[in-house]
Amino acid sequence: MYRIADLCAGVGGFHLAFKKLGVEATMACEIDKNAQNTYRFNFPETPILDDIRQMKGRDMLGAEIMCAGFPCQAFSIAGYRKGFEDARGTIFFDLARIAKEASPEVLFLENVENLKNHNKGRTFDTIKRILETELNYKVCYKVLDARTFGMYQMRKRTIILCFKDHELSHRFSLHEGGIKPPKDFSVLLDDFESLNKKYFIKEDSHLAKNYLGLIENKENPDYIYQFRRHYWREYKGRCPTLTANMGTGGHNVPFIYDPRGSPPDGHTSYRKLTPMEVFRLQGFGVDGFDFKLPEDSKDGHLYKQAGNAVPVKMIYEIAKNLAEILK
């Protein structure tokens, strides 16, 4: 059985998806201390390194698949075609360096939807050229929508699969999932009795007094609302793309109208989604992907971690297809 190395690991979305297939991670690498805490809470036996810049190929401990949800960064001298030097100073440079040293059979990479157009296309062109020319991998890539993998959230991501054995790439294809998303999000909500009043909007708050009246589809439990400075975006049948800036303390965390019980005294029935609810929108803690949150973690840290996470169900379905050709 093959194993994965979980780089730029976040809270372990890749690990969680592969674990359901019976595949374990030899190690992980994640620089954010709070994300490390959540990762260790769920995968206590997996060793975690904290600085990918110091990591060596041998630190992958023989894993056959390198996974990474790496950040989208511009290359300072992209286009000069100096090989690895085009990517120096970026996380991708270190991923490529480690891949060259360890030579894993497969690279499984995830990035933002707009990666191919980032920096006028230079970023992706440099990534692809290094993977193919410098590392001799066959590269397959496609932008996929998490909603086609049975997720309620709108989340399009660039998925890149790279094969050391070029023949394997001919037996593998990246395609939309064909799994319908749930019709509503009620199954993803916490029990009403367990909700802390801090998530509910206070009746005398600035938000309640000045902006709740601007909602067009008022008091409708079928909608997810997102406050954008001076107006609301309203979504029915889907959740907007979750982002890391949910952890900044603003109103980027989605709101809902929750009539399942009486709100706390002095509060409205409008409330923020809780950290665990947001994680469920990313596929954590549902459908057999067991996941829990450390009780000592701050909400802001957890919202940020959820926004940075990979969509677990999408990763799982791709990993399942990958498993078929790696047998």
pLDDT value at position 250? 56
pLDDT at 289 over 70: yes
Residue 157 has pLDDT above 60, yes or no: yes
Q: Is 63 helix (H, G, I), strand (E, B) or coil?
A: coil
Q: What is the pLDDT of residues 69-114, one digit of tens each?
A: 998 776 654 344 555 565 667 899 999 999 999 999 999 999 999 8
At 236-265, the pLDDT tens digits run 999 999 998 887 765 589 999 999 999 999
Contact 282, 303 (CB under 8 A): no
Residues making up the chain, counted from first to last: 327
Q: Which residues contact 283 (CB under 8 A, 6 or more apart)?
A: 13, 146, 151, 289, 311, 312, 313, 314, 316
* Coil vs helix vs strand at 124: helix
Q: Residue 80 has what pLDDT?
A: 47
Higher confidence at residue 156 or residue 229?
Answer: 156
User: Which tops the pLDDT comparison, 252 or 174?
Assistant: 174
Instruction: Report CA-CA distances (Å) from 232 to 150, 165, 207, 228, 249.
Output: 26, 50, 11, 6, 17
- Which pLDDT band holds residue 45 (cuts at 50, 70, 90)? very high
Residue 266 has pLDDT above 70, yes or no: yes
Per residue, the 3-state secondary structure of 259-316, as one string, reads CCCCCCCCEEEEEECCHHHHHHHCCCCCCCCCCCCCCCCCHHHHHHHHHHCCCHHHHH
Overall pTM > 0.85: yes
Rounded Cα distance, 265 and 279, in Å: 28
DSSP string, 152-204: SB--EEEEEEEESSHHHHTT-------BPPPS-SGGGSPPGGG--GGGEEETT
CATH number of the domain located at residue range(s) 186-306 in this protein: 3.90.120
As beta bridge partners, residue 65 has 4, 106
Known catalytic membership, residue 67: no
Which pLDDT belongs to residue 87? 64
What average pLDDT does the structure give for the chain?
A: 93
3-state secondary structure of 25: strand
Task: Please report which residue ranges of 20-90 form alpha helices under DSSP H.
Answer: 33-42
- What is the per-residue DSSP string for 223-267? EEEEEETTEEEEEESSBPPP-GGGGGSSS-S-EEE--SSPPPTTE
| Res 123 pLDDT > 90 | no
Confidence (pLDDT) at 327: 80
pLDDT value for 85:
61
The stretch 138-157 carries a mean pLDDT of 96
For the cut 70, the answer to whether the pLDDT of residue 2 exceeds it is yes
In this prediction, what percent of the chain has a pLDDT beyond 70?
Answer: 94
User: Which residue among 67, 72, 162, 239 is the active-site one?
Assistant: 72
Domain ranges in the chain are: 4-181+309-325, 186-306
Q: Is 271 left (phi over 0), alpha (psi -120 to 50) or beta?
A: beta
Q: What is the pLDDT of residues 296-316, one digit of tens each?
A: 999 999 999 999 999 999 999
Q: Show the tokens assigned to 53.
A: 């810049």
* Alpha carbons 245 and 253: distance in angstroms, whole number: 9
Q: What phi and psi, each to the nearest 5 degrees, are found at residue 29?
A: -140, 120
Position 182: which residue type? P
Tokens of 248: 């900044």
Residue 175: is its pLDDT beyond 80?
A: yes
Nearest-angstrom CA–CA distance, 258 and 256: 6
Distance, in Å, from the CA atom of 117 to the CA atom of 131, rounded to the nearest integer, reads 18
CATH for 4-181+309-325, among 3.40.1080.10, 3.40.50.1110, 3.40.50.150, 3.20.20.70? 3.40.50.150
From the list 15, 9, 98, the residue with the least C-alpha distance to 61 is 98
Q: Once rounded to an integer, what is the mean pLDDT over residues 276-305?
A: 96
Q: Are strands 65-69 and 106-112 parallel, antiparallel or unpaired?
A: parallel
